[in-house]
Amino acid sequence: MSLSRFYETTFLMTQNEQAVVEGGRRAPRPPIHGPEGFEGMRKAGRLTAEALDVLMEATAPGVTTEALDRLAYEFAMDNGAYPASLLYRGYPKSICTSINHVVCHGIPNDKPLRDGDIVNLDICLIVDGWHGDSSRMAYVGEVPRKAARLCEITHECLMRGIAAIKPGGSTTDIGRAIQAYAEAERCSVVRDFCGHGLGRIYHDAPTILHYVEPSYDVTFEPGQFFTVEPMINLGRPAVKVLSDGWTAVTRDRSLSAQFEHTVAVTETGVEVFTYSPKGLHQPIDPSA
Ligand code: MF3
Ligand code: CO
């Protein structure tokens, strides 16, 4: 989600939830979930990952993102789930499809995918009231080496961010791990969009920044659920949102990639809810 929307959400939540002031910014205390929540999130996370497996296998040159969207909607309906993005704040589709220099929130349309594109497929399925949110990059045919490299770096950023999660640590550990790796690889971390708490609601506390921001830091406790969803650019970090109100692109038109998992803080570390049952964590490389 976007940072400004997060603060709107936060404001609404402070009406009836306990709020704490951290670094001068109001942040509601993240909810702590029990065994029932973990069970619910395992189901929602698994179905979300299965949906992404289907979408990745359907991605090919000539396929439209609208066709992928329809596939996602039908998959949700067939499995007793609802796509959280559909009609969310007016968003018209079941998935986001963000191609090449689109950073996030690309809206599926009738334009065919082209050989060499990289596309982020983002879906959040609600199952029995619980939200599983995940995204992956897919290759359209054979992609240029620099595009594949960006996708590999971004997936590594996600996994390094997740590996930094343990009880007693804090949200800054994620941002530090991701920013250090991305910048060592001469890439940049997008600042304008963040990960988020989720569970029975789509966007909750805590906010997960993918870079170090000293004024925002929330301590991890077992039972917190949130997404980690770094957006990494080959060029500069700046983004702008197009006139459709959703599509975010890099200002310098450099390539951008994103991967997202839904995770929980556990007693001993972290649990990932959205691993691919088919092992399709990274793009399918037709040339490999
Ligand atoms: N993973 C993105 C997020 O959590 C997906 C947004 S869907 C949209 O913000 F409807 F908000 F576009
Ligand atoms: Co998300």
Mean pLDDT of 179-206: 97
Residue 140, ligand 1, Cβ within 6 A: no
Per-residue pLDDT tens digits for 87-131? 999 999 999 999 999 999 999 999 999 999 999 999 999 999 999
145: pLDDT strictly greater than 60: yes
Per-residue pLDDT tens digits for 54-84? 999 999 999 999 999 999 999 999 999 999 9
CA distance 191 to 142: 30
CA distance 284 to 276: 13
pLDDT of 3 reads 67
Q: What residue's CA is closest to ligand 1, atom 8?
A: 85
Mean pLDDT of 263-285: 95
Residues 13 and 203 sit within 8 Å (Cβ to Cβ): no
Q: What angle do CA 231, 147, 226 make, to 5 degrees?
A: 25
pLDDT of 12 reads 34
Residue 122, ligand 1, Cβ within 6 A: yes
244: pLDDT strictly greater than 70: yes
Residue 88, ligand 1, Cβ within 6 A: yes
Residue 133, ligand 1, Cβ within 6 A: yes
Q: Considering every ligand atom shown, identify the ligand nearest to the alpha carbon of residue 6 and give its number.
A: 1
Q: How confident is the model at residue 209 (pLDDT cuts 50, 70, 90)?
A: very high
Q: Return the best residue to mutate from 9, 96, 194, 258 for the ligand 1 pocket (most ligand atoms within 8 A of CB).
A: 96
Q: What residue's CA is closest to ligand 1, atom 9?
A: 1
Cα dihedral: 136, 142, 146, 150 (round 10)? 10
| CA distances to 126, 134, 150, 196 from 237, in Å | 31, 22, 14, 20
CA distance 262 to 284: 21
CA distance 215 to 3: 14
Distance of CA 8 to the CA centre of its chain: 19
pLDDT of 15 reads 28
pLDDT of 6 reads 53
234: pLDDT strictly greater than 90: yes
pLDDT of 53 reads 98
CA distance 209 to 198: 15
CA distance 228 to 78: 28
* Mean predicted lDDT score pLDDT of the chain: 92
Q: Quick one: what percent of the chain has pLDDT higher than 90?
A: 88
Token pair for 72:
């996602």
In terms of Cα–Cα distance, which of 257, 288, 278 is closest to 52?
Answer: 278
Per-residue pLDDT tens digits for 7-48? 554 433 332 233 333 344 555 789 999 999 999 999 999 999
Q: How far, in Å, is the centroid of ligand 1 from the Cα of 85?
A: 6
Residue with tokens 């997740």: 162
